[in-house]
Amino acid sequence: MWRKIFTVFNLFLLTILSACADMNGTFSNSNIEPTIVDFNSGGKLLHGYLAKPDGDGPFPVVVYNHGSGSNPIADLDLEKFYTDLGFVIFEPHRTGHGLSADAGIPIVTQQEAIPDGLSGEEFQAAIWDLHQTANDDVIAAIQWLKTQSYVDTSRIVVSGVSYGGIQTVITAEKSDSLGLGIRAFIPFAAGAMSWNPYLEDYLSASVQNAVPPMFFVQAENDYSIEPSKVLGAILESKGTPNGYKIFPPFGTSEEEGHGAFAMTAAGAAIWGPDVVAFLQATGVL
């Protein structure tokens, strides 16, 4: 009963938050102050931002995977959105990125070092291997998170945008076999900037193999909406609560339709109700 009451309150709160997003797409009066935390991955000390509601919990958690940029920062808009819904949000920085820059080389730099002369299939296979290696950091972050007393380990959600969306899909495929117990996955714009037939095959297989439910999100003016069309069809074939949604164009450019849609308060005001509905359907809320 308490969860139903809390969910109704969350939906009311979401409506208020959407109305409070200012013209620049940030929530008004945000008082979020994320904490920098450390976790180990394969002998490397990595770091990330963590924000949580007041209290001891245990709270549901969203693990949010950053994109390919070498210097991701704390996303105060997403932290505000999720903590006001009663979630902890953890933004781990993978090897070579942001707070974990001193631990290695960022994925795009590694990608640029792939030798010339490879076929398209060989080149994408090499990039996929880099994604798989990067995913070790995501798994390590989740495993660290599950040891924290304020975390409800039965209500963990994984999300992310762009390359972080790819990481979300890869994690979904591995979740059950690794015993991660992840409840739901929400990839934003996975593969939209680098879509090609070979990446399509990899991501299609991962989505098909994933056991936990997944909700795939994009704006119509993203770099490519083929990921939603292809992967969304697979998700629909698996039945509810799996699904996808292509939202109307956001902003005036592909860049805004890609990253800003996923990561700003103005974007969350649009996709938020559908994401909350998905979280309700999966029992997270």
Is 179 buried (19+), middle (13-18) or exposed (0-12) by CB count in 10 A? exposed
Domain ranges for the chain, please list them: 2-281
Letter for the amino acid at 24? N
pLDDT at 3: 35
53 exposure class (CB count in 10 Å sphere: 0-12, 13-18, 19+): middle
Q: Hey, what are 72's tokens?
A: 């991701």
Residue 193: which residues within 8 A CB-CB, separation 6 or more?
162, 223, 224, 258
In the CATH scheme, what is the code of domain 2-281? 3.40.50.1820
215-224 pLDDT, tens digit each: 999 999 999 9
CA distance 7 to 153: 19
| Residue 104, pLDDT above cutoff 50 | yes
What single-letter amino acid sits at 27? F
Average pLDDT over residues 228-236: 98
Looking at residue 199, its pLDDT comes to 97
**Structure confidence by residue, pLDDT tens digits, 4-15:** 333 333 333 333
Cα 37 from chain centre:
18
pTM equals 0.89
pLDDT digits (tens, 9 = 90+) for 25-40: 444 344 678 999 999 9
**Mean pLDDT of all residues in 258-265:** 97
